[in-house]
Amino acid sequence: MIAGTIGHLPLHLYKVDKDGQPTKATNDPLYSVIHDRANDVHSKSVFFKMLVWRAFAGSKGRGIAIILRDRVQRVRGFVPVDETLVKIDQKIENNQLVRTYTIGSTVYKANDIIDFAPSLKSDGIEAYAPIIVHRNTIGSMIAAEEYATELFANGGVPPLTLTGPGTSPASNDRASEQIMGAIKSSKDRKRTVLPMPTGFKLESLGFDPSKQQMIELRRFNVSEASRIFNVAPAMLHDLTTGTYSNVEQQNLNFAQQTILPIVKMLEQELNLKLFGIRNTTNYVEFNVDALVRGDLLSRMEALARAVNSALLTPNEARALDNREAKPHGDKLYMQSATTALGSTPAPATPAVPANEAATEETPQNNEEDNGGICSPPCGGNTGGVTRAA
> What pLDDT score does 389 carry?
40
Residues of the chain above pLDDT 70, percent? 73
What pLDDT shows up at residue 384?
Answer: 46
What digits encode the pLDDT tens for the residues 237-278?
888 777 777 777 777 888 888 999 999 999 999 999 999 888
Q: 0.95 cut: is pTM over it?
A: no
Structure confidence by residue, pLDDT tens digits, 43-69: 999 999 999 999 999 999 999 999 999
Q: What angle do CA 60, 61, 66 make, to 5 degrees?
A: 80
What pLDDT, on the 0 to 100 scale, is given for residue 34?
94
Q: Which residue in 65, 46, 226, 234 sits closest to 130, CA to CA?
A: 226
Query: What pLDDT does 367 receive?
Result: 45
CA atoms within 13 A on the CB side of 244: 0
Contacts of 109 (CB under 8 A, 6+ apart): 100, 101
Pairing assessment for the beta strands 11-16 and 282-286 based on DSSP bridges:
antiparallel
User: What is the distance between the terminal CA atoms of the chain, rounded to a whole angstrom?
Assistant: 87
pLDDT score at 120: 93
DSSP structural state of residue 124: S
The pLDDT-based confidence of 36 (bands split at 50, 70, 90) is very high
Percent of the chain with pLDDT over 90: 37
Measured CA to CA, the distance from residue 243 to residue 102 in angstroms comes to 51
C-alpha–C-alpha distance, residues 196 and 79, integer Å: 64
CA torsion sign for 368, 371, 375, 381 is positive
Assign 356 a pLDDT band (cuts: 50, 70, 90). Answer: low
pLDDT-based confidence at 103, cuts 50/70/90?
A: very high
pLDDT at 388: 42
- Average pLDDT on 338-343 reads 62
Sorted by where each begins, the domain ranges of the chain are 2-129+255-288, 135-214, 295-346
pLDDT of residue 259: 92
8 A C-beta contact, residue 87 and residue 101? yes
